[in-house]
Structures are given as C-alpha cells and as structure tokens.
Chain A
C-alpha cells in the first residue's frame, strides 16, 4: 500500500517537473519576461493579502479622528497619492482595489475552467450531436463583442445578485467559457487519435478513465498559458465594467476602473492624481500577467522557442584517441 502511494507521489512529482521543465529552461527574452511578470504579479498578490496591514485607511474612509480629509488634496503630506473628490485616500483605494481585482479574476478563472474544460473534454472526446450543438452555441457566443456580453450579463444580474464580486465574476466567466471550450475541444480531438489513446481504448479502458488518465493531462498543459493571458484580459474587462458602473458597486469595495471613471471629470479641471494612479495600477497588473503568459507561451510553444546554443569553437580540445587499446 505504502509503496503505491510513494510511487504515485513520485509519478506526480515527475509530472510537475515535466510541466515546469520549460520554465527552468527558458532563455533570453522569454526568461526575462517570465520572471519580471511573475515578480509584478507576486507584488500585487502580496498587496491583496496584506491590504489590511498595508493600507493607511479603509477603502471608503473619508475621515480619521473625527476630522474629514481634504477634498482633492494634492499627493504629498498625509496622503501620499492624494485624495479624491469624496475625500477618500487614493493609495488606500488602490491597495484595497487589488483585493477586488484578484478576487474577481480568480473566481472568473475558476468558473471558466470548471465549466469550459469539462465541456470541451466531453464534446471533443465523444463528438456526436452534443459536440455539434455545443460548437454552434459557442461559435454564436463569439459573435458578441466580449465586453458587450459582460456588460449585458452584469446589467441583467445586477438587479438580482447582490454581491458585486459575484456579478462581475459571472459576467467575465461567460465571455471566456467559449475560449476554453474551443481550445480544449480542438486539442482533445487531436489527442484522441494518438496511438497511446488508441492503445488504451483497445485494452478496454473505460471512456472516463481514458479521459481522466490520458487525455486530460495532455490537454491541460496548454491551460496555464491561456489562463494567465485570460487573467490579464479579465482584469481589463472588470475595470471596464467598473468604469461603466457595473459589477462591484462603490459601497462594496474599491475598484480601479470605477476610480478612473470618477477621475475623467476631474481631468477636465486638470486634476491628474485621482485617475493616474489607479490607471497605472491596472496597466501594471495586466502587464505583469501578460508577461507571464507570453513568457510561458514562448517557452512551451516549440515554434516560438529559441534553443540555447553554445558557440562553436574549432580550437576546442580535439578528440584524443586513447592508446591503451594498443598496449598488450
């Protein structure tokens, strides 16, 4: 019993090593992108986790010690990044906003994967009527501009679901399910005909066993790239929803897109700090996630991968023939 558990553990660690292999092998620009992106993303994750400690004030706090903060105070003393027209602290809103962004994006990714991947696996592996119907449906979803779909879903759910985070996450999920579905399905179709899957089928393995053991792990290798790139995209969608006033409501949490929307009217009177800082936060987080995705893509995708090359040196020590075979 113990032996099989260890064996399984060993096999799993092999799988992880195989998946992480390209990351360790990444070279040149891909390596730089991967690590820079991971660094930026990590900073935001830490910011979100430690928001209660790091943030000077609450996200909607406009007074401290019975004194109301100044409205639209310049960045500097007391408020490093200034205050908004509602006297809230810009820095605090950015730090708390990190929490909102990551929560929504995490939820949306999880929903998208949980719905899209199994659907794609089943449609791709079993084919048939279900596959055709699903493909037609997903293709139709592609005809909607993703942002439009997210807006309409958020608009429709807004009146019945009270949690803004959940509304935003669901709205974003719906725009990404077709993508996961399409990628996974197409990959499954190509894997399905591979000799090792044929062999498993010939040996009488049950369809779900084959799906779980052979197809799933093969297909799932593509998912990290899509997931990180989609996470970047999801942040943009979420902030766009916030900008238009959907999703997370101002009373429920800080959201960067909403802050920028408020700042557009500030900009008309030359006030820059209320919009610049939350905007930069969006740019930085999306850039970080995109760098991770692109870096991964470049190290995993053989077409884009650049092999490392050791320079040719003709003067390298030549092959010294051994003379020992001549000695009697």
Chain B
C-alpha cells in the first residue's frame, strides 16, 4: 500500500501577543490509500490545527514549516492557487459543527452545483444533478430535498450533506475533524458507518480526528496519539489499544469509560501551555513513569516493534540516555519546578 499523504516534521505555529503557540511541533505521519487513520488526544493538543494545516487552512498569523507530501508534491510550499485547486477534488475536510457550515441563503442544490462547477467545469447540468443526487442518496438524503434550504434539515442530516458535499468530488483524502461530537448517539453511529464504508464506496483515505477512543477502536486501521503538538505514539489501532507503549496512551486508555469501569481514572494535571511547553518530553510533568532524563532531553522516536513508533525515553535509544538518566524522578518535584 502506498501512502496518499506523508507529513514530515511539520510545524504549525500561531502568532499571538504573548508569543508563538506551537500547536503542531514536529509531526510526522503517513496515511495509506483507502485506509483510516485515527488522530486522538485531549482538547488543545493541536489535532484540529494539524487537520486544517494539511489543507493549508490556517488563520491569519499562523505559519507552517516542514513537508506535507501529497502524491509527492509538498503542499506547504505550494502556491496558494494550486493548493486551492487540490482542495475539494483531492483533499476534503468536514467539520465538527454541521449547523453553521452551510450557507443559509443557498439551497442544497446550489452548494453542490457551485462545488462541482468549480472543479469539473465540463460537467453538464444534468450530470451535476445526477452526481449530486447519487452522492446524497448514498448518505440517505432523498432527491426530493435537493432544492431545500439548510435550515430545513436536522444536525445529523446537515452533517451527511456536508460529507456528501466533500465526497461528490471523490477526494483521495478526507479529513474529518470531530465529525460526530455535536451529534447525538444514534446519529453518531450512522455517520460513523458512512465514514467506515468510505473505502468500499469511494476508495478515500480518512484522517479521523477525535477525542473519542471508542470511535477509533471501531473505525480505524491505525491510530496516532497526539500530545502537546507532537505524536506520542503511532501504530495499528488494534495493537496500540491492546498494548499501549507510551505512558500517555496508557493513561488515556485507562481514563475512558467501558463496561468494566469500576472507578473513573483521570490523568493528573492539565495539558501544557503550548507557548512555553515543558522541556524535554512534554508529558513529563504528568507522567507516572517519569525518569531523570525526561525533563532534560527531548525524547527520540524509536520503533519498539516493526510497525510501531513511540516518542518516549522508556524505549531508548539507550545510547542517548546519560548515566543515571533512567533513575525515577519525583513527579511533584518536577511539577513544582515547572511552575517556578
């Protein structure tokens, strides 16, 4: 399987009055054609920024550095006009809150017409109609509602319309940014089924951003765990969940509610401030396994198993750990030092 998208050492920083926010800080990822990669992490860890950054949709004052290779071309250095042409037919994006994403003054038909005319100017009126209705039909929206306005649809239906609007151009990669967070459970299941079937129906690769680990376990081939702008761990979803390597992944899995849950577990502390993140490993102030090396040196990515990567000193490389570095450190002391 070849990668449809390769992200190499990507940095996405926001400018603010108090300094640069390192929302994404040296991320590397690969998504294979037709596969589903889950991107999980707490709120504010940079996962949404990463999703939008891949499409080059960043707010004013943000800057990108590194490589986003789509079919061998670097999107970071690409001319805006060229990147704009890729958005839609090659790279799709669906958002968290579907209620406000459709223009209230345009009919559903106008949205599809505009999108198709923009990218496939040779299509006839009839072809536009057929393609739109076909895609909508697969999302369960009947043709009778093609000429209605957005306010006539429920949230779940609007999200399905948004997905259809992205898929009607048959993109090779779809970024879905928490697509079910604002929907109720039954609708969530419907949307997830649609997304899981993408490969079968459209041969589209999916980057599924979520903080819901259950969704990842159900729908994803691989999973990347993000913490404070970096990828803490990445690997096949089944393996990562069965045997998490990074202490953060382990804590994250413990904090989810399952049928066997007897008491709620939470990770002490809060996600760090990304303007001045903790030194060394960014998770060290909250890590139960913290060692002396962790706050002192940036961790180096290792592959404890052939198909898995992890960013943690527990897995070496031993040659880079100074003598005495593996001694356990006291969490409290470090937390205090952090505050000072």
- Touch between chains A and B, by CB atoms below 8 Å: yes
Residues of A within 8 A of B (CB): 307-314, 316, 319-323, 325-326, 328
The answer to whether A325 touches B292, judged by C-beta atoms less than 8 angstroms apart, is yes
A-B pairs, 3 with minimum CB distance:
A309-B61, A312-B63, A321-B279
The answer to whether B16 touches A309, judged by C-beta atoms less than 8 angstroms apart, is yes
Q: Name A's interface SS.
A: loop
The answer to whether B14 touches A321, judged by C-beta atoms less than 8 angstroms apart, is no
Residues of B within 8 A of A (CB): 11, 13-20, 60-63, 65, 276-277, 279-280, 292-293, 295-298, 322, 324-325, 329, 334, 337
The answer to whether B17 touches A321, judged by C-beta atoms less than 8 angstroms apart, is no
The smallest C-beta distance from B228 to any residue of chain A, in angstroms, reads 12
What are 26 contact pairs spanning A and B, CB under 8 A?
A309-B15, A309-B16, A309-B60, A310-B15, A310-B19, A310-B20, A311-B61, A312-B15, A312-B61, A312-B62, A314-B11, A314-B13, A314-B63, A314-B65, A319-B276, A319-B279, A320-B279, A321-B280, A321-B295, A322-B295, A325-B295, A326-B296, A326-B322, A326-B324, A326-B325, A328-B324
**Told that A322-B296, A325-B292 touch, could you supply 6 new A-B pairs with CB distance under 8 A?**
A312-B15, A312-B63, A321-B298, A325-B337, A326-B292, A328-B324
The smallest C-beta distance from A303 to any residue of chain B, in angstroms, reads 15
Q: Which residues of A contact B19 (CB under 8 A)?
A: 310
Q: Which residues of B contact A312 (CB under 8 A)?
A: 13-15, 20, 61-63
Q: Which residues of A contact B16 (CB under 8 A)?
A: 307, 309-310
Q: Name B's interface SS.
A: loop
Partner of A311, one of B11, B15, B334: B15
Q: Given A312-B20, A314-B11, are A325 and B296 also a contact pair (CB < 8 Å)?
A: yes
- Greatest chain B CB density within 10 A among A310, A316, A325 is at A325
Q: Which residues of A contact B293 (CB under 8 A)?
A: 326
Task: Report the Cα distance A316→B276, complex, angstroms.
Answer: 12
Q: Given A321-B298, A326-B322, are A307 and B17 also a contact pair (CB < 8 Å)?
A: yes
Q: Which residues of B contact A321 (CB under 8 A)?
A: 279-280, 295-298
Task: Report the Cα distance A216→B61, complex, angstroms.
Answer: 38
Task: Report the Cα distance A141→B210, complex, angstroms.
Answer: 54
Q: Which residues of A contact B14 (CB under 8 A)?
A: 312
Task: Report the Cα distance A309→B175, complex, angstroms.
Answer: 28
The smallest C-beta distance from A328 to any residue of chain B, in angstroms, reads 7
Q: Given A322-B296, A323-B296, A325-B295, are A316 and B20 also a contact pair (CB < 8 Å)?
A: yes
Q: Which residues of B contact A328 (CB under 8 A)?
A: 324
The smallest C-beta distance from B213 to any residue of chain A, in angstroms, reads 30
Task: Report the Cα distance A323→B295, complex, angstroms.
Answer: 9
Task: Report the Cα distance A311→B293, complex, angstroms.
Answer: 33
Task: Report the Cα distance A320→B295, complex, angstroms.
Answer: 11
Task: Report the Cα distance A263→B232, complex, angstroms.
Answer: 79
The smallest C-beta distance from B340 to any residue of chain A, in angstroms, reads 12
Task: Report the Cα distance A199→B62, complex, angstroms.
Answer: 41
Task: Report the Cα distance A308→B17, complex, angstroms.
Answer: 6
Task: Report the Cα distance A183→B298, complex, angstroms.
Answer: 55
Residue of B nearest to A318 (CB): B298
Task: Report the Cα distance A195→B65, complex, angstroms.
Answer: 45
Q: Which residues of A contact B329 (CB under 8 A)?
A: 325
The smallest C-beta distance from B328 to any residue of chain A, in angstroms, reads 12
Q: Given A322-B279, A325-B329, A326-B325, are A313 and B20 also a contact pair (CB < 8 Å)?
A: yes
Task: Report the Cα distance A123→B205, complex, angstroms.
Answer: 59
The smallest C-beta distance from B289 to any residue of chain A, in angstroms, reads 16
Task: Report the Cα distance A310→B329, complex, angstroms.
Answer: 36
The smallest C-beta distance from B272 to any residue of chain A, in angstroms, reads 11
Residue of A nearest to B276 (CB): A319
The smallest C-beta distance from A318 to any residue of chain B, in angstroms, reads 9
The answer to whether B277 touches A319, judged by C-beta atoms less than 8 angstroms apart, is yes
Residue of B nearest to A27 (CB): B17
Task: Report the Cα distance A325→B13, complex, angstroms.
Answer: 29
Task: Report the Cα distance A200→B293, complex, angstroms.
Answer: 52
The smallest C-beta distance from A312 to any residue of chain B, in angstroms, reads 4
Q: Which residues of A contact B65 (CB under 8 A)?
A: 314
Q: Which residues of A contact B277 (CB under 8 A)?
A: 319
Residue of B nearest to A308 (CB): B17
Task: Report the Cα distance A40→B277, complex, angstroms.
Answer: 47
- Greatest chain B CB density within 10 A among A314, A322, A323 is at A314
The smallest C-beta distance from A51 to any residue of chain B, in angstroms, reads 44
The smallest C-beta distance from B15 to any residue of chain A, in angstroms, reads 4
Task: Report the Cα distance A164→B260, complex, angstroms.
Answer: 84
Task: Report the Cα distance A314→B20, complex, angstroms.
Answer: 9
Q: Which residues of B contact A322 (CB under 8 A)?
A: 279, 295-296
Q: Which residues of A contact B322 (CB under 8 A)?
A: 326
Residue of B nearest to A314 (CB): B65
Task: Report the Cα distance A313→B297, complex, angstroms.
Answer: 22
Task: Report the Cα distance A311→B17, complex, angstroms.
Answer: 9
Residue of A nearest to B59 (CB): A309
Residue of A nearest to B323 (CB): A326
The smallest C-beta distance from B53 to any residue of chain A, in angstroms, reads 13
Task: Report the Cα distance A234→B61, complex, angstroms.
Answer: 41
Task: Report the Cα distance A249→B268, complex, angstroms.
Answer: 76
The smallest C-beta distance from A314 to any residue of chain B, in angstroms, reads 5
Task: Report the Cα distance A313→B75, complex, angstroms.
Answer: 20
Task: Report the Cα distance A23→B179, complex, angstroms.
Answer: 40
Q: Which residues of B contact A325 (CB under 8 A)?
A: 292, 295-296, 329, 334, 337
Q: Which residues of B contact A308 (CB under 8 A)?
A: 17
The smallest C-beta distance from B17 to any residue of chain A, in angstroms, reads 5
The smallest C-beta distance from B283 to any residue of chain A, in angstroms, reads 14
The smallest C-beta distance from B67 to any residue of chain A, in angstroms, reads 14
The smallest C-beta distance from A215 to any residue of chain B, in angstroms, reads 31
Task: Report the Cα distance A307→B17, complex, angstroms.
Answer: 8
Task: Report the Cα distance A313→B13, complex, angstroms.
Answer: 9
The smallest C-beta distance from A309 to any residue of chain B, in angstroms, reads 4
Q: Which residues of B contact A323 (CB under 8 A)?
A: 296
Residue of B nearest to A310 (CB): B15
Task: Report the Cα distance A90→B336, complex, angstroms.
Answer: 73
The smallest C-beta distance from A315 to any residue of chain B, in angstroms, reads 10
Q: Which residues of A contact B334 (CB under 8 A)?
A: 325
